[in-house]
Amino acid sequence: MRLSSFQGLLLTLAAIGGVFLLVGMPPIQAGFIVLGLALLALPAWFSAPVVRVVGGALLAAVLYLFLRLPLPPALAIVLAAAVGFAAWCYVPPRILRRVCVLVPSMVLLVYVTSLLMYSAPGSPFAQEKAASDQVIAAKRAAWGVPESPTEFFKIYMTRVLEDFDFGPSLTVQGRSVMDLLGPAFPVSMSLGLTALVLACAIGLTLGIRAGLRPNSFADYSSMGLAVIGISLPNFVIGALLLMVFALSLGWLPVAGWGTYSHLLLPALTLALPYAAYIARLSRAGTIEVMQQDFIRTARAKGLSEREIVFKHALKGAILPVVSFLGPAAAGIMTGSFVVETLFGIPGMGHWFVKGAINRDYSVVLGTAIIYFSIVIAFNLLVDMAYAWLDPRVREDL
Amino acid sequence: MARAAATLAPEKGTSLWADAWRRLKRNRLALGGAVLLGLVAVVCFVVPVVLGLDSETTDPANSFHPPDAHYPFGTDNVGRDYLARVLVGGQTSLLIGVAATLASVLIGVFYGSLAGYYGGKVDEVMMRIVDFLYAIPYMFLVILITLQFSKEARGNPLPIFFALGMVQWLTMARIVRGEVLTLKNREFVLAARTVGAGDLRIIFRHILPNILGVVVVYATLTVPAVIILESFLSFLGLGVKLSWGVLVSEGVGVVNPIESHAWLLLLPSLFLALTLFSLNFLGDGLRDALDPRTRR
C-alpha cells in the first residue's frame, strides 16, 4: 500500500489523536492537540513564496504584540509591518519556515503544559485547612483559573496577548509571575551564559590539544577528564567542588548570589559535562580536519604549525561543536534546575521546580515560555553561525 | 579486514556480530567496563539477599556511625545501615536505567522506523513533532510527567520509568530514522518487495536486523543518561524513595564544615560513578566494535 503524502499526514495525526482518545483524554483536548500538531506540520507543504508571505506576516504579528506596549498603536503597526516586509524581501525562506513552525509550537507548548498541570493531582488552592467550595470557586474566578484546562488556556492566552501579562502567582501571595521571574531571569541568564562560555573554553582547549596529537599523553589525559565529566551527574561534581573549594579550602562561598565569586562554582559545575562533550567532539573534528588535503597544502607552502591550526584547522574542528551548542544550551538551562537548588541561587529553575511542586500553574507556564523562547532563539543563532562557518550549508539556507 | 578474514577461511565468512565481538575483545577499557558493571550489578542484587541486609531498620543510638567492621559503610542520620541502603538503592537505579532504556528503545525504534520508511511528508510531520519535543528542555517534560502521579505512587519506580522513557526515545527515533532512510533504497529491500513482502514485514524482518547494532550502542549510552536523570529527579525531591540519587542528595545535605559525614556523600557517589564509567566505556567500545567507520 503506497500512501500519498497528504494521506500519510492525516493517518499520522489520526493515529496520534486515536492514542490520546484511547488513554481517556476528553475529545476537545485531543482535538486541540491534533490541530496544533497539524499547524506545526503544515509549513512543510508551503512553497517558498507562501513561506515568505506567512513567515513575514507572523513575524510582523509577533513584533506588533511586543511593540504595542511601549509605542502608540499606529507607530507599532507601521514598524511591525515594515519589519515583516523586510523579512518577506530579505530573510531566507529556511528561517521564515522556522518562524511559521515556531508560532504554533509556542501556543501548543502553553496548551500542553496547562493540560499536564491540570491533570496532575492536587490543585494550587489545596491548603492544609479545607476551604469551603464557595471560597475556592471565588478564588478560581479571581485568579482566572477555572476548572477546565481549555478555559484556563483561553483566559491565559488572552491575558498574555492583550496585556503581555503572565498573571498573578497562585501560591505566592500578592506577587505576579513577572515580579517573581523578573529578578530571576538575569540571574539564570548570567549563570547559563557563563557556564556556556566556560564549557566552550575548557572543551575546545582540551579537545583541540588532544586532537592535534592523537594517542599521546595530552590526548589520554584530556579524554580521561572528559569521561569523568560525562559520567558524573553534575550535582555530584558540584558537591565535590563545594567540599574542596568552599568547605576545606574556604576560597569560595558555599552558597548565595551577588558577587562573581558566587558565580564561579555553580557555573563550573554546570559547564563540566558539556565541556567534556565538546572536548570529544572537537577532538574528533580536529583529527578529521588535520588529515584533509588543504592542511597538507598549507604545510607545503610553509605555514607555521600555529597558523595552520588557528587559521585553517580551527574552523573545521569547531563545526561539530557549533551544531552541539543548541542542545547544549537547552541542557544547561535544565541543568540549572539542579545547580540552582544545590547552590541556593534564586534563579528561574528554582521557581520552576517550586511552581511545579506547589501546582502554581501560572509560574510554571511563565518559566516554560521563557525557557522555550531562549532555546528557540539560541537554535536560530546556532543555525546562522553554522551557515556562516560552513559554505556548503549556506547554499540551501 | 573482512577480505583478509575471507582469504584465511574462504568457506566461512565472518558475520557482523562475530567481527564486532573480536574487536570488542581487543578493547581493554570496554571489557573492563563490562566486567565492572557485572560486578556492581551482582553485588547490588545478590549481597543484600545473602547477608540479609535491611535498608529500613533504624537504630537512633548509632546515628552517623562512621564506617567500621560492624557497619562497613557506616550509618545515616537515623542509624540505618548504609551498606544496605547503597546496595538496595543501586538496585533501583540500575532497574530504572534498564527499564526506561527499554521503553525508549521500543518507542524510538517503532516511531523512527515508520518515519524513515514512509519518508517524504510523513517523515517530515513525524520529525517536526520530535523537533518540537526536543526544543522543550527534557527535564521540564520529565517533571511535568512525574507530577501526574500522586505522592504515594511517586515513591515507586514505575512512574519514573514511564517519564524517563517518554523523553529518552527522541534521540533513538532520530538515529533509527536516519539509518532506515539510508537502508530502504537498498537492493535487498527491493528484493523483498518484489516477492510481495508487506511494509511492516520489510521494516521489522529486513531493515531492523540491519540497524540493531546502532540501536544496541545507543541503548548502552542511554542507560547512564537515564540513571543521571533519575538522580536529578531524586535530588529535586521528585524521584523514588531510595536510589543512588536519593542517597547522594541526602549526602549533600549532611556535609557541612563542622561535622563532615563525608562517607554519606562519597560512597553512593563512588558506586554511581563506577557504574556510569563502565557503561560509558562499554558503550564507546561497542560503538567502535559495531561501527568500524567511526573508529579513530
Do A124 and A359 contact (CB within 8 A), yes or no?
A: yes
Contact state of B136 with A40 under an 8 Å Cβ cutoff: no
Would you call B269 an interface residue with chain A, using a CB distance cutoff of 8 Å? yes
Judge contact between A32 and A115, C-beta under 8 A: no
For cell 507607530, the residue is A75
Which of B124, B136, B277 has the CB atom closest to A44's CB atom? B124
For residue B134, tell me if it sits in a domain: yes
Q: How far is A41 from chain B (nearest CA, A)?
A: 5
Across chain A, which distance is largest between two alpha carbons, in Å?
85
Give residue-wise pLDDT tens across range A373-390. Answer: 888 888 778 777 777 776
Question: What are the sequence ranges of the domains in chain A?
Answer: 46-119, 177-396
Task: Please name which of A303, A330, A325, A331 lies closest in space to residue A389, comparing C-alpha atoms.
Answer: A325
CATH of the domain at B240: 1.10.3720.10
**Is A242 part of the contact surface with chain B (CB cutoff 8 Å)?**
yes
Give A31-41 pLDDT, tens digit per residue. Answer: 888 888 888 87
Please tell me if residue B251 touches chain A, with a CB cutoff of 8 Å: yes
Q: Looking at the domain assignment, is residue B69 inside a domain?
A: no
> In whole angstroms, how far apart are CA A237 and each of A141, A199, B249?
46, 14, 12
Given an 8 Å threshold on Cβ–Cβ distance, is A338 in contact with B232? yes
Scanning every residue of chain A, which has its alpha carbon at the shortest distance from the alpha carbon of B196? A1
Please give the class, per CATH, of domain A177-396: mainly alpha
Is B148 in contact with A120 (Cβ distance < 8 A)? yes
CB contact under 8 A, B273 and A3: no
> Of A3-12, A20-29, B6-15, B64-73, where does mean pLDDT reach its minimum?
B6-15
Cα B112 from chain centre: 19
Pair A396, A94: CB distance under 8 Å: yes
To the nearest whole Å, the CA of A219 is away from the closest chain B CA by 13
Distance, C-alpha A299 to centroid of its chain: 42
In this structure, is residue B265 part of a structural domain?
Answer: yes
Facing A243 at nearest CB: one of B118, B237, B255:
B255
CB atoms under 10 Å from CB of A262, counted, come to 19
Q: Domain limits at B240?
A: 16-48+82-294
Residue A259 is placed in which grid cell? 558577587
Task: Assess if residue B9 is contained within a domain.
Answer: no
Q: What is the SS3 assignment for chain B? A: CHHHHHHHCCCCCCCHHHHHHHHHHHCHHHHHHHHHHHHHHHHHHHHHHHHCCCCCCCCHHHCCCCCCCCCCCCECCCCCEHHHHHHHHHHHHHHHHHHHHHHHHHHHHHHHHHHHHHCHHHHHHHHHHHHHHHHCCHHHHHHHHHCCCCHHHHCCCHHHHHHHHHHHHHHHHHHHHHHHHHHCCCHHHHHHHHCCCCHHHHHHHHHHHHHHHHHHHHHHHHHHHHHHHHHHHHHCCCCCCCCHHHHHHHHHHHCCCCCCCHHHHHHHHHHHHHHHHHHHHHHHHHHHHHCHHHCC
Q: Does A381 touch chain B (CB under 8 A)?
A: no
Which single residue is written with the C-alpha cell 541502603?
A: B85
**Cβ-based burial of B124 (10 A; exposed 0-12, middle 13-18, buried ≥19):** middle
CB-CB neighbors (< 8 A) of A105 in chain B: 132, 135
How many domains does chain B contain in total? 1
Tell me which residue in B137, B245, B257 faces A330 most closely, judged by beta carbons.
B137
Helices A73-90 and A48-67, axial angle in degrees (round to 10): 150
Shortest Cα distance, chain B CAs vs residue A32, angstroms: 15
pLDDT digit string (tens) for chain B, length 296 residues: 444 444 454 455 567 677 778 877 777 778 888 898 899 888 888 887 887 777 777 777 777 777 776 777 777 777 777 788 888 888 888 888 888 899 889 999 999 998 888 877 778 778 878 877 877 777 777 888 877 776 666 567 777 777 888 888 888 898 888 888 888 888 888 888 888 888 888 888 888 888 887 888 888 888 888 888 888 888 777 777 788 888 887 877 776 656 667 777 888 888 888 888 888 888 878 877 776 554 44
Instruction: Tell me how far apart the alpha carbons of residues B110 and B35 are, in angstroms, rounded to a whole number.
Output: 31
A239 touches chain B (CB under 8 A): yes
